[in-house]
Amino acid sequence: MMQKQSRPIYLDNQATTPTDPRVVDAMLPYFSEKFGNPHSGSHAFGWEAADAVENARARIAALIGAAPEEILFTSGATESNNIAIKGLARGSRNGRKHIVTCVTEHLCVLNSALDLEDEGFDVTYLHVDGDGLIDLDELRAAVTDKTLLVSIMAVQNEVGVIQPLAEIGAICRTAGAAFHSDAAQGAGKIVLDVKAMNIDLLSVTGHKLYGPMGVGALYVRGDANLRIESLFSGGGQEKGIRPGTVPAPLAVGFGEACALAAVEMNEEAVRLMNLRDKLLDRLRGDLDGVRLNGSAECRIPGNLNISIEGTRADKLMAALPDLALSSGSACSSAHSESSHVLRGLGLTDDQAESSLRIGLGRFTTEEEIDYAAGRLIEEITVLRQGSVSASEPVRAAG
Ligand SMILES: *Cc1c(COP(=O)(O)O)cnc(C)c1O
């Protein structure tokens, strides 16, 4: 038996990331010292906060190749996705009533699309292949001159699969459809260039890239003439599209997180890829029946999603209180049904129920990965032995 840790090892970086201490340091002055309302135009407290918010806006823009004035602050990716999809659909006056999205999108995208179906829009849900990738020919066939919007995520939150954004953008541009991408898992992990990729709307969030929870942004392409109806009534902040006071401390933290990611992303990717491959190699070296879910190549470095044949993920996680893992997304863990994402990739219910998501991040160490590999192998072996003996015929007494 390996020595158990006092605090679990955090391996759920697709659910959220810890706020980088450098980000916390940047935020602190904006709580109680530089506390002004950034929309107060009549005194220095307001100007100071406004300067900080504008600086943060520029740093977020820089990470994705946008201009600062194309960035709107929101509360996170859920809100950005709702504004992008429902706000555009309700605000547009060009007669296009068709939307294309994908079966493995986050529920906030899928449920926004469902809302719009109730409002008279047609929605096409693209399939994914066994690797989790959409088929560009299926997209080409789906998009018509009635298509208002194509919403395809940058990186899938359960399986870490990266969609071909530049190719999707080119198809949308040719068809005159707007292209929205939920990049909650992509920003700060992969290179995103909204201009080169022909992206018109892009959603990002602070807490998936070592920034604070409760702040996000929506990029709206400046020269695309998109008409977006606000989902809220309010005081006209953020071009009236997202009224409400911009939370200056959170915006500053988000900006700092984006600036750090821009500098450190490439090096971090190499380190995480090595750790992840080491973990997968060790699991596969010691165990049979370990299947990687989602493309091995088109995948962010910090994600592993594996099905472990003959092992239920809920039982495994219960046996591993020293590892913080998940079996799917945090958002759908309230539902008991198996993941819509893994089913979208074609997994059987048994395979989905034996699936584990392992999310490595900036603060994951090699020692933690060595420990996690050992403990996973240990407990999977125990569970498999248990299920073999449990499935032996039980002789009735007497
Ligand atoms: C986390 C996540 C969201 C939701 O973001 P919040 O900022 O928590 O609202 C949306 N989409 C994807 C792909 C995510 O990973």
Interval between CA 357 and ligand 1 midpoint (Å)? 16
* Residue 208: predicted pLDDT: 98
> Ligand 1 within 6 A of 80 CB?
no
Residues in CB range of 37: below 8 A, 6 or more apart: 45, 46, 49, 245, 248
Structural tokens at position 97: 């009533």
- CA gyration radius, the chain: 22
Domains and CATH numbers, the chain: 9-17+265-387 (3.90.1150.10), 21-260 (3.40.640.10)
* Residue 4: predicted pLDDT: 56
Mean pLDDT of all residues in the chain?
94
- Pocket-testing residue among 182, 190, 202, 305, ligand 1, by greatest number of atoms within 8 A of Cβ: 182
* Residue 336: predicted pLDDT: 52
Interval between CA 78 and ligand 1 midpoint (Å)? 6
Interval between CA 183 and ligand 1 midpoint (Å)? 8
Q: Which residues of the chain have pLDDT under 70?
A: 1-5, 328-337, 388-398
Helix (H, G, I), strand (E, B) or coil at 313: helix
Alpha-carbon distance 76 to 116, whole Å? 21
> Ligand 1 within 6 A of 77 CB?
yes
- Pocket-testing residue among 106, 180, 202, 218, ligand 1, by greatest number of atoms within 8 A of Cβ: 106
* Residue 387: predicted pLDDT: 74
Interval between CA 303 and ligand 1 midpoint (Å)? 15
Q: Which of 176, 134, 172, 181 is nearest to 154 (CA)?
A: 181
Alpha-carbon distance 224 to 328, whole Å? 36
Helix (H, G, I), strand (E, B) or coil at 126: strand
* Residue 388: predicted pLDDT: 67
* Residue 250: predicted pLDDT: 98
Q: Which of 128, 200, 119, 188 is nearest to 164 (CA)?
A: 128
Interval between CA 126 and ligand 1 midpoint (Å)? 20
Atom of ligand 1 nearest to the CA of 205: 7
Sign of CA dihedral 217, 253, 198, 224: positive
CA 155 from chain centre, in angstroms, equals 6
Atom of ligand 1 nearest to the CA of 105: 13
Residue nearest (by alpha carbon) to ligand 1 atom 12: 184
Residue nearest (by alpha carbon) to ligand 1 atom 15: 157
Q: pLDDT tens digits, residue range 232-289?
A: 999 989 999 999 999 999 999 999 999 999 999 999 999 999 999 999 999 999 999 9
How many CB atoms are located within 10 Å of the residue 138 CB? 16
Residues in CB range of 385: below 8 A, 6 or more apart: none
Global pTM reads: 0.94
Interval between CA 185 and ligand 1 midpoint (Å)? 7
292: left (phi over 0), alpha (psi -120 to 50) or beta: beta
Interval between CA 205 and ligand 1 midpoint (Å)? 7
Give me the active site residues, please.
331
Atom of ligand 1 nearest to the CA of 185: 15
Q: Which of 207, 208, 142, 151 is nearest to 175 (CA)?
A: 142
> Ligand 1 within 6 A of 205 CB?
yes
> Ligand 1 within 6 A of 185 CB?
yes
Per-residue b/e over 33-54, b at no fewer than 16 CB within 10 Å?
A: ebebebbeeeeeebebbbebbb
**Token pair 């890829």 in the structure block, residue:** 273
Atom of ligand 1 nearest to the CA of 14: 15
* Residue 246: predicted pLDDT: 98
Of all helices (H) and strands (E), which one includes residue 111?
A: helix 107-118
- Bridge partners, residue 10, by sequence: 324
> Ligand 1 within 6 A of 76 CB?
yes
* Residue 329: predicted pLDDT: 58
* Residue 3: predicted pLDDT: 58
